[in-house]
């Protein structure tokens, strides 16, 4: 843990607190704050009630059971995520309702629109194709797809037959794909020829081919999206349009146990190796369904647009399962927010009459920079609720979002959660509020959270500490890390023991119970809403021949929130140059992807180390942030700090 956390200051001004209007309260599923005390008094009863709203093939016998490091929900219950997302709406007579609207990046291309019935049929066909390829319950299927409808169809098809999807962000490098496919031992990969990004066609198949070399992937299904001339390996690769349309549009959903694995999603921890976060079916379904419904106030007429990529947990829970389980229309956009111009997101809201818009603070900050005139050109009056996720939002961006996008009438739901929690955990409810810039809000009903000091004692209101979740743990909290039970225990229950799930976030809580998240307290960065370990970037850079040693820390960035900065020691025979910097950046692209590129690379002679030889990243962090450096007398090499100050232009 980082002992010298700098808490975000100042506190938000009282005049910037907003409360729900009568109209908001009326539309909200819950508007009486009593829900909090009641549900926190008996979370199991609360979640059982919520669980009754989704469809079960067989009801659970025991709602919750817990022993150290093992907690289970809805034990004995049987259900299927895909059945809950699709079949149940079709069976209820909503087959002709629009389930998914896809907006391609090129503006001269038509939207692809699927009704619930069409989506169910397409999902079933792909599910049957996967069966034809030999996929069975429990098998892992890799999904390396851009933002096209097939990404949702693929996740749905895999869970429909009880297999386990693991989605990999399409902008990740072949090497990142390979690490993940090797770790989860996927047998099949679903990918595409390419996709549009910022007016350019990106060849994805080439990366997929490289990424699965040496893995257990035996078959590859390739969606033709870009019309690129790609190489198909005979016997291994099959076009989606050749294997899927000929299948039956009916595929009975597998009856999954509530605690059967639903999916694996890799995320960054503090080491160079991403961890496979495991989510199970019942608890995940119930919490995703409920949080989507209550936080975004979903009703039958809602058009929900979450701008995250399907490669992240936000895309899983709030493009796919959350909105679909609620039977609303979900919108998915292929491309970049500035293509063809800075108004694309607002034009898309106007075009599809989006009612709920859910995005990241980094995106909002980008729009602030691009200027108010862009949203002003469009009719955004369809919007009712706005959401943010992924990183702390600053007051300026919050107020801009509230005024220029929400027209001062839409609550901003600042949802705190993680890949590990699977679904939203802390935020303000739209019918209750208050909506306070930089403050997420209270723990969701039925979720117990506390702020502790390093010794495990609760801190007084207003003081900084560490955010933990308490039992009964949230239904959608991860159940483990794929193939690494010891790491699971050490990572989340190492500091405080099995009675608290440690989030690794710093936070403070006001007297009312509103929580303000101040950011990670481990070596995990949040780069433009993308989670990344400093160690991952270090590992990538050290693969370059010239690098003898490297330390990466984060530095705040006006738009991206945080960016990585690298201190590089070169091997003998290499000299610093701009050329070498470019090569190092390329190395990061190859090993992780462009999202991880360092914003600055400093070639230095030495980095501060303890007497035992551990790099003191804390000092590097202070240097790049112009913060006080603190005591350096215990270092083995305090003299290097002067050189580093010059290198980074430290002002103190």
> How many whole angstroms separate alpha carbon 171 and alpha carbon 592?
9
Q: Give the Cβ contact number of residue 614 at 10 Å.
A: 10
Q: Please identify which residue in the block is written with the tokens 């597998």.
A: 254
**Which candidate, 218, 244, 154, places its Cα nearest to that of 191?**
154
> How many whole angstroms separate alpha carbon 467 and alpha carbon 134?
44
Q: Which is nearer to ligand PRX, 532 or 546 (CB)?
A: 532
- CA angle 104/107/111 to nearest 5° reads 45
Smallest separation (angstroms) from ligand PRX to the CB of 213: 28
Query: Taking a C-beta distance cutoff of 8 angstroms, is the pair 617, 573 a contact?
Result: no
State both tokens at 302. Answer: 């809602």
- CA angle 446/452/454 to nearest 5° reads 145
Smallest separation (angstroms) from ligand PRX to the CB of 417: 5
Q: Which is nearer to ligand PRX, 478 or 619 (CB)?
A: 478
- Check residue 611 and give left, alpha or beta (phi > 0: left; psi -120 to 50: alpha): alpha
Q: Which is nearer to ligand PRX, 60 or 169 (CB)?
A: 169
270 backbone dihedrals φ, ψ, rounded to 5°: -90, -10
- Check residue 147 and give left, alpha or beta (phi > 0: left; psi -120 to 50: alpha): beta
Strands 448-452 and 442-443 come out as unpaired
550 backbone dihedrals φ, ψ, rounded to 5°: -150, 145
> How many whole angstroms separate alpha carbon 244 and alpha carbon 149?
14
State both tokens at 40. Answer: 């926190």
Q: Which is nearer to ligand PRX, 390 or 474 (CB)?
A: 390
Smallest separation (angstroms) from ligand PRX to the CB of 291: 11
**CA 281 centroid distance within chain:** 18
> How many whole angstroms separate alpha carbon 407 and alpha carbon 509?
29
Q: Which is nearer to ligand PRX, 98 or 596 (CB)?
A: 596
Q: Which is nearer to ligand PRX, 189 or 440 (CB)?
A: 440
> How many whole angstroms separate alpha carbon 233 and alpha carbon 289?
40
Smallest separation (angstroms) from ligand PRX to the CB of 519: 6
> How many whole angstroms separate alpha carbon 163 and alpha carbon 131?
10
Smallest separation (angstroms) from ligand PRX to the CB of 92: 30
Q: Which is nearer to ligand PRX, 286 or 440 (CB)?
A: 440
Q: Is the dihedral of CA 520, 417, 72, 513 positive or negative?
A: positive
Smallest separation (angstroms) from ligand PRX to the CB of 402: 15
Smallest separation (angstroms) from ligand PRX to the CB of 280: 17
Q: Which is nearer to ligand PRX, 150 or 391 (CB)?
A: 391
Q: Which is nearer to ligand PRX, 114 or 398 (CB)?
A: 398
Residues pairing with 567 in the sheet: 551, 602
Q: Is the dihedral of CA 208, 209, 211, 213 positive or negative?
A: positive
Smallest separation (angstroms) from ligand PRX to the CB of 251: 31
Q: What is the DSSP string of 339-363?
A: SSSTTHHHHHHHHHT-SEEEE-HHH
By CB under 6 A, name the binding residues for ligand PRX: 267, 313-314, 389-392, 414-419, 440, 503-505, 517, 519-520, 526, 531
Query: Taking a C-beta distance cutoff of 8 angstroms, is the pair 334, 196 a contact?
Result: yes
Q: Which DSSP category does 498 fall into?
A: T
Q: Which is nearer to ligand PRX, 291 or 419 (CB)?
A: 419
Q: Which is nearer to ligand PRX, 87 or 562 (CB)?
A: 562
Q: Which is nearer to ligand PRX, 317 or 330 (CB)?
A: 317
**Percent of the chain that is helix, strand, coil (3-state, to 5):** 30, 25, 45
Smallest separation (angstroms) from ligand PRX to the CB of 327: 23
């Amino acid at each position: 843990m980082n002992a010298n956390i700098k808490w975000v200051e100042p506190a938000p001004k009282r005049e910037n607190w907003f409360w729900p209007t009568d109209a908001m309260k009326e539309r909200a599923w819950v508007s009486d704050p009593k829900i909090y005390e009641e549900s926190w008094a008996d979370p199991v009863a609360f979640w059982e009630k919520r669980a009754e709203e989704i469809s079960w093939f067989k009801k659970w016998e025991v709602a919750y059971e817990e022993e150290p490091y093992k907690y289970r929900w809805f034990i004995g219950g049987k259900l299927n995520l895909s059945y809950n997302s699709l079949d149940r709406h079709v069976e209820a007579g909503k087959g002709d309702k629009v389930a998914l609207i896809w907006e391609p990046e090129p503006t001269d291309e038509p939207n692809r629109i699927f009704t619930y019935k069409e989506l169910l049929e397409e999902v079933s066909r792909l599910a049957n194709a996967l069966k034809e390829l030999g996929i069975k319950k429990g098998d892992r299927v890799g999904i390396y797809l851009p933002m096209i409808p097939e990404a949702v169809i693929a996740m749905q098809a895999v869970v429909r037959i009880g297999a386990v999807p693991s989605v990999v962000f399409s902008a990740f490098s072949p090497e990142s794909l390979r690490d993940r496919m090797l770790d989860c031992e996927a047998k099949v990969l679903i990918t595409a020829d390419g996709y549009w990004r910022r007016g350019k066609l990106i060849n994805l198949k080439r990366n997929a081919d490289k990424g699965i070399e040496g893995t257990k992937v035996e078959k590859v299904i390739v969606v033709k999206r870009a019309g690129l001339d790609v190489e198909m390996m005979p016997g291994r690769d099959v076009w989606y349009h050749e294997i899927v349309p000929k299948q039956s549009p009916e595929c009975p959903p597998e009856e999954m146990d509530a605690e059967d694995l639903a999916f694996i999603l890799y995320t960054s921890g503090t080491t160079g190796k991403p961890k496979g976060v495991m989510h199970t079916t019942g608890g995940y379904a119930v919490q995703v369904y409920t949080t989507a419904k209550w936080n975004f106030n979903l009703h039958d007429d809602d058009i929900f647009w979450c701008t995250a990529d399907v490669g992240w947990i936000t895309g899983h829970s709030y493009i796919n399962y959350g909105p679909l389980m609620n039977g609303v229309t979900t919108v998915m956009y292929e491309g970049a927010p500035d293509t063809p111009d800075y108004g694309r997101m607002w034009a898309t809201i106007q075009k599809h009459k989006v009612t709920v818009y859910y995005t990241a603070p980094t995106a909002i900050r980008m729009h602030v920079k691009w200027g108010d005139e862009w949203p002003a050109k469009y009719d955004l009056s369809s919007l009712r609720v706005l959401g943010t996720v992924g990183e702390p939002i600053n007051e300026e961006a919050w107020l801009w979002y509230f005024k220029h996008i929400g027209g001062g009438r839409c609550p901003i739901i600042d949802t705190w959660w993680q890949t590990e929690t699977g679904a939203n955990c802390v935020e303000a409810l739209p019918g209750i509020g208050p909506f306070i810039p930089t403050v997420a809000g209270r723990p969701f009903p039925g979720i117990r959270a506390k702020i502790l000091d390093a010794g495990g004692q609760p801190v007084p209101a207003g003081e900084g500490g560490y955010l933990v979740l308490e039992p009964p743990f949230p239904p959608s909290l991860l159940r483990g890390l794929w193939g690494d039970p010891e790491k699971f225990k050490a990572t989340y229950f190492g500091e405080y023991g099995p009675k608290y799930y440690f989030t690794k976030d710093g936070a403070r809580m006001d007297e009312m119970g509103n929580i303000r998240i101040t950011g990670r307290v481990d070596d995990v960065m949040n780069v433009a809403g993308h989670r990344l370990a400093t160690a991952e970037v270090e590992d990538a850079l050290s693969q370059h021949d010239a690098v003898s040693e490297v330390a990466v820390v984060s530095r705040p960035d006006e738009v991206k929130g945080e960016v990585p900065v690298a201190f590089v020691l070169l091997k003998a025979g290499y000299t610093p140059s701009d050329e070498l910097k470019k090569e190092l950046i390329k190395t990061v692209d190859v090993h992780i992807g462009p999202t991880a590129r360092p914003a600055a690379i400093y070639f230095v002679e030495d980095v501060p180390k303890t007497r035992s030889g551990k790099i003191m990243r804390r000092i590097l962090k202070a240097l790049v942030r112009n913060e006080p450096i603190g005591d350096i007398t215990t270092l083995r090499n305090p003299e290097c700090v002067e050189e580093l100050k010059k290198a980074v232009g430290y002002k103190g």
